[in-house]
Chains A and B, each alone.
Chain A
Amino acid sequence: MRMSGALRRSRGRDPLGLRRALSDRLLPALVAAMALLGALALAGARGAADLSGRWQSGAAAAITVQLPAATGGEKLERALAALRALPEVEAARAMDQARLAALLRPWLGEAPALPLPVVIELHLKHLPAAPDALTERIAQAVPDAAVEAHGVWVARLVAVARSLQGIAMAVLLLVAGVGVAVVAVAVRAGIAARREAIAILHDLGATDTDIAGRFARRVAILVGGGALAGTLAAAPVLAGFADLAAPLLGGQPAGSVLALPWGSLPWAELALLPPLAAGIGWLTAQITVRRWLRRLP
């Protein structure tokens, strides 16, 4: 039997037989599934952050109170004092008439003669449990006022979006933790399958760095490849989600796959997933193998 030089060199570079002991099927498949979950969590966190940021401005004034036009002077001061006296209110400020006019100009045009209502912005100490009850009390405190509490609901949505962001990051950490456990189990199985070969290399003077490095390099390649496949598989799913969320962000749903909002995906974070996973796999393999090698003299 004659063996080609290339085959001899390739086998010589893998004296522990890790290409069979750490196979290129199960571990990359598991990592790909976890990378897909990680990518979804990552994009979920990013999406929740975007929504939260977009809605944040809407929640700046939790409640607005409108008084009839030309309310001024003493009556306005009384209204402001009554509102500030409410325990839930942190600040009450009359909106500048010039700013209000500027805001309404696109709809009303230059119409200085048109009487504009006086608008008071209320900032609350806490979001009220029952906004309707608070609205009622404001109406009693300031007769003739029209109360608008939409900001309370927006603030609640922002709180939900922030919670989703936190949950998504927790899911990402959980996926990374499970990934570490999966790699550790795979490496231990590889060690068990190659226990004799490891002992022979050790007896021949191989250092822990050498043996652990062989495992770590193999694991990094498998995990990195699996994570890349999982991330690529996640991309169309994420683009579909982004398309569904487009109306919430002021956009339009796409008509075709190519028109999906590919550009809105968090590509920078997604691109980091495979090298990050490979790095975690490399480190986990190093620690697992080195801990096992400590039992050898």
Chain B
Amino acid sequence: MLAAGAGGGIVRAMVRFAGVGLRYATPAGSGPAGPGPEVLRDISFTLPPGSFHWLLGPSGAGKSSLLGLMHLALRPSRGEVEILGLPISRARRRSLPALRRRIGVVFQDFRLLPHLPVFDNLALPLRIAGRSEMQIRADVMEMLRWIGLESKAAALPASLSGGEQQRVAIARAVVMRPALLVADEPTGNLDMGQARRVLALLQEMHRLGTTVVVATHSEALVAEYPAPALHLSEGRLVFHG
């Protein structure tokens, strides 16, 4: 499947990593100043549009860093990351917000805004994109029906269960109909029943044509939903298939 690129053209790869390395700067006061050790080394792979991939590996293998590069929270220290046809290391900073709106992100800790009700948390990406309030209302109510939380529109996140909060986070991640959806341990804080429900939503997005990457520790979920996987170990990609 082909997808529209950042510049409006057609791209054959949704995500392309070529010889990517990543270092974090050493935090102030924790040793000599300057770049720290490489947390990702020589990562190269391509994800075609519309694919579903697991991202696997032990803690500290670099899964969150890899996802951070995919959803533009990080820039590579070396090599090239290409998302939706845009080379990130050469992209101007001002061109990234528009690209971020086409990438949905789901975190283990949900990252909902605690002072906003569910409705406004879901409406946030649409408001940032400048959509009309009428369209926002229609889209948000549709998403609430999709995740089965229509009755919780006015509730604050803290009053929801972990599974419900994660469903809201997924709805917020996909309300803009993103081309790429990345999820970092989305079931890490959930029991197996809630985890299956969350994963069913992610699978449905994949069926609708979204490219999905899910990082997880859960071998049970991977066994239930077999799909291609990226295996990381000590910052290196050891298996892709």
Are A8 and B115 interface neighbours, CB within 8 A?
no
- Does A57 lie at the interface of the complex (its beta carbon under 8 Å from any beta carbon of B)? no
- Does B129 lie at the interface of the complex (its beta carbon under 8 Å from any beta carbon of A)? yes
* Cross-interface CB contact of A11 among B98, B120, B125, B155, cutoff 8 Å: B120
Q: Using Cβ atoms and an 8 Å threshold, which residues of chain A touch B72?
A: 297
**Bound complex: CA A3 to CA B72 (Å):** 35
Q: Given A201-B128, A204-B125, A205-B129, A3–B101 Cβ distance below 8 Å?
A: no
Could you tell me the dominant secondary structure of chain A's interface residues? helix
Q: Using Cβ atoms and an 8 Å threshold, which residues of chain A touch B74?
A: 297
Give chain B interface residues in 76-113, CB to chain A under 8 Å: 93-94, 96-101, 105, 111, 113
Give chain B interface residues in 133-150, CB to chain A under 8 Å: 133
**Bound complex: CA A201 to CA B94 (Å):** 15
* Cross-interface CB contact of A207 among B94, B127, B153, cutoff 8 Å: B94
Q: Using Cβ atoms and an 8 Å threshold, which residues of chain B touch A8?
A: 117, 119-120, 154
- Does B198 lie at the interface of the complex (its beta carbon under 8 Å from any beta carbon of A)? no
- Does B123 lie at the interface of the complex (its beta carbon under 8 Å from any beta carbon of A)? yes
- Does B71 lie at the interface of the complex (its beta carbon under 8 Å from any beta carbon of A)? yes
**Bound complex: CA A205 to CA B129 (Å):** 8
- Does B75 lie at the interface of the complex (its beta carbon under 8 Å from any beta carbon of A)? yes
Q: Which residue on chain A has the smallest CB distance to residue B105?
A: A203
Q: Given A11-B115, A203-B71, A210-B128, A3–B97 Cβ distance below 8 Å?
A: no
Q: How many residues of B contact A (CB 8 A)?
A: 33
Q: How many residues of A contact B (CB 8 A)?
A: 22
Q: Using Cβ atoms and an 8 Å threshold, which residues of chain A touch B97?
A: 205-207
Are A197 and B113 interface neighbours, CB within 8 A?
yes
Are B116 and A11 interface neighbours, CB within 8 A?
yes
- Does A17 lie at the interface of the complex (its beta carbon under 8 Å from any beta carbon of B)? yes
Q: Which residue on chain A has the smallest CB distance to residue B99?
A: A205
- Does B47 lie at the interface of the complex (its beta carbon under 8 Å from any beta carbon of A)? no
Are B113 and A15 interface neighbours, CB within 8 A?
yes
**Bound complex: CA A201 to CA B116 (Å):** 13
Give chain A interface residues in 1-56, CB to chain B under 8 Å: 1-3, 8-9, 11-12, 15, 17, 20
**Bound complex: CA A2 to CA B116 (Å):** 14
Are B154 and A203 interface neighbours, CB within 8 A?
no
Are A12 and B93 interface neighbours, CB within 8 A?
no
* Cross-interface CB contact of A297 among B75, B117, B155, B159, cutoff 8 Å: B75
Q: Using Cβ atoms and an 8 Å threshold, which residues of chain B touch A2?
A: 154
Q: Using Cβ atoms and an 8 Å threshold, which residues of chain A touch B128?
A: 201, 204-206, 210
- Does B10 lie at the interface of the complex (its beta carbon under 8 Å from any beta carbon of A)? no
* Cross-interface CB contact of B96 among A3, A17, A200, A297, cutoff 8 Å: A297
Q: Please, could you name 12 A-B residue pairs with CB atoms under 8 Å apart, sorted by A?
A: A1-B154, A1-B155, A1-B159, A8-B120, A200-B111, A200-B124, A203-B105, A203-B111, A205-B97, A206-B97, A210-B128, A297-B73
